[in-house]
Amino acid sequence: MDGEPKVNIIAQDDYREGYANSVQVRASLWDFFLQFGTLGQQSPQQVEIHAFQGVYLSPQQAKALYTVLGENIKQYEATIGEIRLAPGQTPIPAVNPKPN
C-alpha cells in the first residue's frame, strides 16, 4: 500500500460542538487534561468559568495538538493578520480545574 492511509472521521451519536473562550490545562505524568468552558466577568473582581467539556490527551497527542495548532495560527496570521492579546492578558487560574 503506497502513501498515506485514507482517514474517515465518523461522529458518534453523542458528538457535539461548542464555543469556548476558556481552556484550563492540567498535566500529569500520564496525560494532559483540557477543560473547556465559557468565561464571563461578573465584576472587576469576579470571573466565572462555566466548564462544559473535559478532554484527556496522551502526551503524544498533546504535543501533536501543540504542533498543528501552532501551524494553523501561523497560517491564520499570514492570511488574516496578527492575533493580538489584550495588554496584560494572562490565563486565569482555575479555582477547581477538576471535573465535577
Q: Do the beta carbons of residue 60 and residue 52 sit within 8 Å?
A: no
Domains in the chain, number: 1
Is residue 29 in a domain? yes
58-78: pLDDT as tens digits = 999 999 999 999 999 999 999
Contacts of 34 (CB under 8 A, 6+ apart): 23, 24, 25, 54, 55, 57
CATH code at 58?
2.30.31
Is residue 98 in a domain? no
Ranges 47-51, 61-65, 82-86, 91-95: which has the least confidence: 91-95
Distance (Å, whole) CA 81 – CA 89: 19
Give the H or E element holding residue 64: helix 59-79
17-46: pLDDT as tens digits = 999 999 999 999 999 999 999 999 888 888
| pTM of this structure | 0.73
> Which cell numbers in the block locate residue 17?
460542538
Q: What domain range includes position 55?
A: 22-79
